[in-house]
Amino acid sequence: MKPQPRKRFAQHWLQSQEALNQIIRAAELTESDRVLEIGPGTGILTRRLLPLVQSVIAVEIDRDLCTILNKQLQTADNFLLLQGDILTLDVEAQLAEYPKFQKPNKVVANIPYNITGPILEKLLGTITAPTQPAFDLIVLLVQKEVAQRLNAKPGSKAFGALSVQVQYLANCELICHVPAQAFQPPPEVDSAVVRLRPRLWQPPADNPRKLEILIKLGFASRRKMLRNNLKNVAERERLTQLLELLKINPSARAEDLSVAEWVALSNQLQKLEIIGEL
Ligand code: SAH
């Protein structure tokens, strides 16, 4: 019998073999991979991972689940379960106690949706401080709307600050949709599998911190034109000139700019020292 799902830990047990197959295939696993799994739950994904890789290091917050999982998977000597909160646990420091387990190079997980943003930031870092060394590959089951944002093209509704931030830090692909009925209990939203390949944006922004601030300001009010959202950054005239110089429509909204254009805009503002004091 499966343990009763707990709402406060966003527990929804994946049931679909098809979804599991897609996750496994997307992760391009090899025998030398060390996989970090976040929220193994009942271990349905863990059991698929274990025979394919060198090791699985799983972080699970729910103590009761940890007891069950450790009992059920005690014969798998390439499995290490760390009890704790993925957002605060220092996985690397914990691993110092287990010399057999090397640092994970991939992440494969059906994550708790209520902390998707912070998990992405933990795994990828920020524009100012990208996680180094980066993971080779990250395959996650996420809420469909998040998947659409990660995968959005400029000019589309789904293209937001999260899209620019994550696409600056990784190549993002949508692997497949997973309906709510694939889970027990079904969440209120549909889901999707995404694959992220972290890499540094080339060429990087001259001043990543300023790019980060610019994105935040630029997307502050989505319905306004970019130049209105940035009116505290530079005078309207100046901004219009600058946008024209960069061949960006002066009446564009934040969602219309590609990542390359965001980088170009922040570089220009930096060069002209327009956002010097931000
Ligand atoms: N991977 C399982 C469970 C997914 S549900 C499956 O596919 O069926 C999300 C899981 O994340 C649950 O097991 C939940 O207890 C765990 N979880 C929730 N918050 C967490 C946190 N902050 N750190 C680590 N695990 C967490």
User: For the segment 65-105, what is each residue's pLDDT rounded down to a tens digit?
Assistant: 999 999 999 999 999 999 999 999 999 999 999 999 999 99
Q: Ligand 1 center to residue 112 CA distance, Å?
A: 5
69 lines ligand 1 (CB under 6 A): no
Spacing of C-alpha 89 from chain mean position: 17
Tell me the average pLDDT of the chain: 95
Separation of alpha carbons 242 and 269, rounded Å: 8
Distance between Cα 67 and ligand 1 center (Å):
14
Tokens of 25: 């295939």
Note the residue count of the chain.
278
Does an H or E element contain 144, and which? helix 144-151
- pTM value is 0.95
CA dihedral (84, 85, 90, 92) positive or negative: positive
Predicted confidence band at 172 (pLDDT cuts at 50, 70, 90)? Answer: very high
Alpha carbon of 3 to ligand 1 centroid (Å): 13
Q: Is the C-beta atom of 24 inside 6 A of ligand 1?
A: no
- How many Å lie between the centroid of ligand 1 and the Cα of residue 111? 6
Answer yes or no: is the C-beta of 130 below 6 A from any ligand 1 atom. Answer: no
Q: Is the CB of 9 under 6 A from ligand 1?
A: yes
CATH superfamily ID and name for 208-271: rRNA adenine dimethylase, C-terminal domain (1.10.8.100)
The full DSSP string for 155-198 is TSTT--HHHHHHHHHEEEEEEEEE-GGGEESPPSS-EEEEEEEE
Q: Do domains 7-198 and 208-271 have the same CATH topology?
A: no
Q: What does the domain layout of the chain look like in residue ranges?
A: 7-198, 208-271
Closest residue CA from atom 2 of ligand 1: 41
Q: What is the mean pLDDT of residues 29-50?
A: 98
Q: For the domain covering 7-198, report its CATH number.
A: 3.40.50.150
Q: So what's the pLDDT on residue 180?
A: 97
Residue 4: what pLDDT? 86
Asked whether the CA dihedral 125, 128, 133, 136 is positive or negative, the reply is positive
Separation CA 268–CA 245 (nearest Å): 10
Q: Which atom of ligand 1 is nearest to the CA of 9?
A: 18
| CA–CA dist 50, 65 (Å, integer) | 18
pLDDT at 105: 98
Cα–Cα distance for residue pair 256/124, rounded to 1 Å: 24
Q: Using the atom order of ligand 1, give the atom closest to the CA of residue 183.
A: 8
Atom of ligand 1 nearest to the CA of 110: 1
